[in-house]
């Protein structure tokens, strides 16, 4: 809310980094300039302006002494830290606690979040993954953004230039929450001292600034630094640590005049500081060229068989198709395939890996280019199609049974029956003769049957009728026999008699006497 309204909620500026691949990594310039302060006093100041042509690939924020330095509150000479990454130019970076050595602000080093200050509103400089240079104030969300994350980030104090205009007064408002407490901060801005700063120009080149000095005695105040940078066509710039921390190392050697004294104080000594802004040879993408090449000035020089730009893919990766594997030596074809890109089947008669095996298929059998297996034509079988189908079988792989009557042979290829002797079928003459005679008889019989009138009932029908009649007769006889037997049995069981007085039988007298007689009762 301390930001000028004209800028709305946008509290930082972005600029696409330049990518001058053919230019040298950097250009280091020394200046010795006459500076006139507000009181009209002239002073000579000296320092360095360094232009970086490909910031994304050649700028790194380094922890003191190397990775992990901030975690251990380490402090190290810029020269020493610079050697860990072979920095061509290195200068001191962010602020740190001079008592404990603790790194301050936000720090992202080569894509690794070293320190998150939770949205502290001090001037920041960062490079995003896509090469965007960012200057200004950032929220914590900005710092932790994963869509286009920061690969380098460092914190300073005071946004010196914004869009080519001096932005110090706005910075004082933004970076301090109570105006009555800005007294010390105003002094910090106004005092002359050794200073370092980082910015960018219109092309997106990164500009490193360093001026020698000693607080209150030599050097520049931040107004002078901002104006100096503005005159150098710098668009955005932030102030980094200064005073005795201001250090400039060129090709591994100290190239600035430190303001701190040594012990004893006869000499001047560079200060062991915290983070370092390092300009190194362009890094390749990926840095190790995927292990298949060398990084030469930011470009991977790939080993044979590996393709640029990252040496991650084999040159033949897309060309070997489905029938080959891409190797450093080109396509290695599957069995049965040949050619530069494994697009051709083995020529006829050859099979296997590299098509270096010879097919053994006989009788016109075709050869499988992968395994060399023979596919026999109809009528032949065997591993090499060397055998004719056995008698009684025909067709592909001799799996069909001949349907010929009376052992007549069939054609091994088509299965058609041969009723005449086939010499090449290797059948005995006797057997062929039998086949022929039987065949002729069968044909004659068929002709006779075809000419004779067809009976009303067949032989089988008559047989059934006769059987039924015979069974009926037998059943009738059996029934009568059983009935007769039952009658006989009944007569024996009824052995009682009754006597009836008969008047006369066969002409006897009326008074007659009772005489015995029999009457059969049924």
Partner 1 sequence: CKDIRHSSDDDLLLPYTKSHGPSHSHRYVR
Closer residue to partner 1, CB minimum distance, 2 or 362: 2
How is 43-67 classified by DSSP, letter by letter? EEEEEEEEEES-HHHHEEEE-TTST
Q: Does 321 participate in binding partner 1 (rule CB under 8 A)?
A: no
Task: Evaluate the omega torsion of the peptide bond into residue 454 and state whether it is cis, within 30 degrees of 0.
Answer: no
Binds partner 1 by CB under 8 A, chosen from 112, 187, 371, 442 = 187
- Residue 76 tokens read as 């190290």
Dist. CA 425–CA 276, nearest whole Å: 97
**Choices 41-49, 184-192, 224-232, 401-409; region in contact with partner 1 by CB under 8 A:** 184-192
- The separation between CA 70 and the C-alpha centre of its own chain, rounded to angstroms, equals 37
Binds partner 1 by CB under 8 A, chosen from 27, 130, 165, 177 = 177
Shortest distance, position 136 Cβ to partner 1, whole Å: 12
Q: With left for phi above 0 and alpha for psi between -120 and 50, is residue 189 left, alpha or beta?
A: alpha
In degrees, rounded to 5, the angle at the alpha carbon of residue 160 between the alpha carbons of residues 154 and 163 is 100
Q: Does 137 participate in binding partner 1 (rule CB under 8 A)?
A: yes
Q: Does 141 participate in binding partner 1 (rule CB under 8 A)?
A: yes
Q: Does 410 participate in binding partner 1 (rule CB under 8 A)?
A: no
Shortest distance, position 83 Cβ to partner 1, whole Å: 13
How is 440-497 classified by DSSP, letter by letter? HHHHHHHHHHHHSPPPSS-HHHHHHHHHHHHHHHHHHHHHHHHHHHHHHHHHHH----
Q: If you search the block for the tokens 């000419």, which residue do you land on?
A: 451
Binds partner 1 by CB under 8 A, chosen from 194, 277, 314, 320 = 194
**Choices 35-43, 183-191, 349-357, 483-491; region in contact with partner 1 by CB under 8 A:** 183-191
Report helix angle 168-175 to 222-231, nearest 10.
130
Give the count of residues interacting with partner 1 (CB under 8 A).
47
Binds partner 1 by CB under 8 A, chosen from 147, 253, 267, 519 = 267
Shortest distance, position 265 Cβ to partner 1, whole Å: 7
Shortest distance, position 187 Cβ to partner 1, whole Å: 7
- In sequence order, the 6+-apart residues with CB closer than 8 A to the CB of 408 are 402, 417, 418, 419, 435, 439
Task: Give me the half-sphere count of Cα atoms (radius 13 Å) on the Cβ side of residue 174.
Answer: 26
Dist. CA 28–CA 31, nearest whole Å: 10
Shortest distance, position 165 Cβ to partner 1, whole Å: 21
| Interface with partner 1 in residues 288-307 (CB under 8 A) | none
If DSSP codes are grouped into helix, strand and coil, which group holds residue 367?
Answer: strand
Binds partner 1 by CB under 8 A, chosen from 10, 30, 262, 296 = 262
**Choices 125-133, 179-187, 284-292, 495-503; region in contact with partner 1 by CB under 8 A:** 179-187
Q: Does 158 participate in binding partner 1 (rule CB under 8 A)?
A: yes
Shortest distance, position 252 Cβ to partner 1, whole Å: 14
What would the x/- binding string for partner 1 be over residues 68 to 107, using CB under 8 A? ---------x-----------------x--x---------
CB atoms within 10 A of CB 519: 9
Shortest distance, position 298 Cβ to partner 1, whole Å: 33
Closer residue to partner 1, CB minimum distance, 146 or 509: 146
| Interface with partner 1 in residues 448-467 (CB under 8 A) | none
**Choices 191-199, 305-313, 321-329, 493-501; region in contact with partner 1 by CB under 8 A:** 191-199
Q: Does 176 participate in binding partner 1 (rule CB under 8 A)?
A: yes
Report helix angle 222-231 to 182-190, nearest 10.
50
Query: How many residues are listed for the chain in this entry?
Result: 522
If DSSP codes are grouped into helix, strand and coil, which group holds residue 38?
Answer: coil
Binds partner 1 by CB under 8 A, chosen from 13, 51, 63, 175 = 175
Closer residue to partner 1, CB minimum distance, 80 or 396: 80
Contact 313, 329 (CB under 8 A): no
- The separation between CA 356 and the C-alpha centre of its own chain, rounded to angstroms, equals 35
Phi, psi (rounded to 5 degrees) for 65: 80, -5
Shortest distance, position 46 Cβ to partner 1, whole Å: 17
Binds partner 1 by CB under 8 A, chosen from 58, 106, 193, 275 = 193
Dist. CA 54–CA 24, nearest whole Å: 9
**Choices 29-37, 133-141, 332-340, 419-427; region in contact with partner 1 by CB under 8 A:** 133-141
Q: Does 228 participate in binding partner 1 (rule CB under 8 A)?
A: no
CB atoms within 10 A of CB 449: 9
Q: Does 270 participate in binding partner 1 (rule CB under 8 A)?
A: yes
In degrees, rounded to 5, the angle at the alpha carbon of residue 223 between the alpha carbons of residues 218 and 226 is 105
Q: Does 380 participate in binding partner 1 (rule CB under 8 A)?
A: no
**Choices 42-50, 113-121, 302-310, 331-339; region in contact with partner 1 by CB under 8 A:** 113-121
Dist. CA 226–CA 123, nearest whole Å: 14
Shortest distance, position 175 Cβ to partner 1, whole Å: 7
Q: Does 4 participate in binding partner 1 (rule CB under 8 A)?
A: no
Q: Does 265 participate in binding partner 1 (rule CB under 8 A)?
A: yes
Interaction site with partner 1 (CB under 8 A): 2, 77, 95, 98, 118-122, 137, 139-141, 157-158, 174-177, 181, 183-185, 187-188, 191, 193-194, 214-215, 241-245, 258-263, 265, 267, 269-272
């Amino acid at each position: 809310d301390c930001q000028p309204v004209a800028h709305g909620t946008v509290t930082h500026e972005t600029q696409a980094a330049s990518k001058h691949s053919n230019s040298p990594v950097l250009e280091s310039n020394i200046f010795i300039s006459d500076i006139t302060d507000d009181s009209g006093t002239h002073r000579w100041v000296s320092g360095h302006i360094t232009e970086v042509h490909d910031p994304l690939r050649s700028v790194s924020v380094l922890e003191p002494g190397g990775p992990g330095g901030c975690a251990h509150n380490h402090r190290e000479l810029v020269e020493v830290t610079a050697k860990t990454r072979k920095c061509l130019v290195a200068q001191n970076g962010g602020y740190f606690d001079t008592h404990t050595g603790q790194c301050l602000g936000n720090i992202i080093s080569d894509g690794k979040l070293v320190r998150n200050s939770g949205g502290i509103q001090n001037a920041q400089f960062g490079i995003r993954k896509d090469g965007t240079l960012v200057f200004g104030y950032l929220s914590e969300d900005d710092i932790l953004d994963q869509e286009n994350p920061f690969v380098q980030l460092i914190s300073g104090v005071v946004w010196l230039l914004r869009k080519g205009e001096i932005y110090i007064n706005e910075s004082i408002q933004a970076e301090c929450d109570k105006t009555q407490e800005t007294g010390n901060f105003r002094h910090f801005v106004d005092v002359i001292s050794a200073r370092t700063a980082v910015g960018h120009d219109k092309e997106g080149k990164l500009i490193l600034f360093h001026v020698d000095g000693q607080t209150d005695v030599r050097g520049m105040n931040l107004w002078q630094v901002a104006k100096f940078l503005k005159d150098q066509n710098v668009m955005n710039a932030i102030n980094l640590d200064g005073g005795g921390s201001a250090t400039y190392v060129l090709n591994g050697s100290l190239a600035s005049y430190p303001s701190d004294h040594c012990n004893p104080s006869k000499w001047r000594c560079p200060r062991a500081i915290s983070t370092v802004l390092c300009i190194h040879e362009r890094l390749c993408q990926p840095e190790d060229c995927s292990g298949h090449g060398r990084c030469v000035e930011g470009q991977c020089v790939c080993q044979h068989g590996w393709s640029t730009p990252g040496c991650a893919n084999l040159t033949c990766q897309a060309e070997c198709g489905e029938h080959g594997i891409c190797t450093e030596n080109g396509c290695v074809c599957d069995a049965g395939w040949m050619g530069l890109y494994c697009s051709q089947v083995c020529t006829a008669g050859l099979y296997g890996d590299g098509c270096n095996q010879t097919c053994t298929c006989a009788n016109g059998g075709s050869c499988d280019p992968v395994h060399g297996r023979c596919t026999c034509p109809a009528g032949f079988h065997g591993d090499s199609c060397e055998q004719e189908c056995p008698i009684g079988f025909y067709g592909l792989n001799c799996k069909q049974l001949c349907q010929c009557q009376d052992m007549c042979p069939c054609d091994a290829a088509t299965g058609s029956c041969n009723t005449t002797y086939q010499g090449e079928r290797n059948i005995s003459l006797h057997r062929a003769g039998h086949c022929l005679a039987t065949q002729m008889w069968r044909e004659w019989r068929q002709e006779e049957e075809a000419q004779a009138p067809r009976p009303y009932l067949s032989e089988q029908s008559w047989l059934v009728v006769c059987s039924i009649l015979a069974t009926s007769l037998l059943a009738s006889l059996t029934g009568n026999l059983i009935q007769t037997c039952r009658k006989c049995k009944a007569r024996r069981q009824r052995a009682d008699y009754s006597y009836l007085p008969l008047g006369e039988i066969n002409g006897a007298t009326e008074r007659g006497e009772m005489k015995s007689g029999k009457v059969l009762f049924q």
